[in-house]
Amino acid sequence: MAKNILLVAGGDSTEHDISLISAGYVQEQLEKNPEHHVLSCVLHDRVFTFKDGAKGFFSSGNNFEIEAANGSKSTVAIDCVVPCLHGFPGETGDFQAMLALNNVPFIGCEKEASINCFNKVTTKLYLSALNIENTPYIFVADDSEASLKRMHDAFIAFHGDVYIKAASQGSSIGCYHVTDESKLDATLREALGYSSLVLIEKTIVHRELEVAAYEYKGELHITDPGEIVIPQDLFYTFDEKYSSDSKSTTTVEVKDLNPVQKDIIKSMARRAFKGLGLRHLSRIDFFLGDDGVVYLNEINTFPGMTPISMFPKLVEHAGLPMSEFFSDCIENAIAAKQER
């Protein structure tokens, strides 16, 4: 019997357009399963819009009301939602809260884990509590005299080289590399325009490694790390991630890592996945410092699914077709909801 799968893309963040690219790939994978009837829509300003102009909304439970452009109406019972949303309201937990309130199954992390991982400050606090190595940092909530002093003190303690990051943004939006103390105050104020909390991190000379952490057939799997190779004079900005002019490259095989380093990365990823209560999928990013120390950098609860994205590349490289992965997530989400 066919299952009605609502694929939701877009959202209201700076990553709206990237989400649409990801959704194209996800739809292609979902439709490889003949049991999936995929309804693909774009969410913007709380309105679900389909390609033909129809609008939709959840009325009660999993009943999804669709009003066509000509005014005709229909109701579809949604079996599972795939929230292909980068940033607000998907990775922030808002969308998951709405689905949970309506008792609608969905794949991916639930509300609390999404909130905690999207906020870089909260993630740092969890990682520290779980005794998982992460880069030295402070955070501030305003540009008061006291906050500015703390930032300048940290800048000196971090050897005059820091990253200033808006706490609740994705794809390196609101992220700045600062080595000139005279630019700290203005940079902080710019970052506060993106988020109410701002992280000030010590710069670590590093290689950037990523793993896919995902559940399949009831077991948690951590892939071998892949690597983002970034030119030395750049960092992984939004443009470096998605522009056709990007100088960065990716690889799913890092041949010069020793077994101990791989084990450390996988152990940290496993502890983070379980400790922060993740579900189904995540991409977990690491720094391998030039001192040999491994630092967990951040967690992405619905990673990119574009042609250059690491999560699907790593999962496929591990031997699992993404179409089978999504099918298993959907079955798991539906079963979990039925058990409640």
The DSSP-derived string for 146-209 is HHHHHHHHHHHHTTT-EEEEETT-STTTTEEEE--GGGHHHHHHHHHTT-SSEEEEE---EEEE
Domain with CATH 3.30.470.20 in the chain: 116-133+205-339
- Rounded distance between C-alpha atoms, residue 125 and residue 332, angstroms: 30
Q: Which CATH code of 3.40.50.300, 3.40.920.10, 1.10.3720.10, 3.30.470.20 fits the domain covering 116-133+205-339?
A: 3.30.470.20
pLDDT at 14: 81
CA 64 to chain centre: 26
Q: Is pLDDT of 89 > 90?
A: yes
Buried b (16+ CB within 10 A) or exposed e, 105-130: bbbbbbbebbbbbbbbbbbbebbeee
Tokens linked to 325: 């992965």
Domain 137-202 class? alpha beta
- Rounded distance between C-alpha atoms, residue 300 and residue 272, angstroms: 12
Q: Which CATH code of 3.90.230.10, 3.40.50.20, 3.90.226.30, 3.90.1640.30 fits the domain covering 3-108?
A: 3.40.50.20
Domain with CATH 3.30.1490.20 in the chain: 137-202
Of 286 and 168, the one with more pLDDT? 286
pLDDT digits (tens, 9 = 90+) for 140-179: 999 999 999 999 999 999 999 999 999 987 657 899 999 9
pLDDT band at 337 (very low <50, low <70, confident <90, very high): confident
Domain with CATH 3.40.50.20 in the chain: 3-108
Query: Residues of the chain with pLDDT > 90: what percent?
Result: 84
Angle at 278 between CA 113 and CA 208, to 5 degrees: 100
- Structure pTM? 0.90
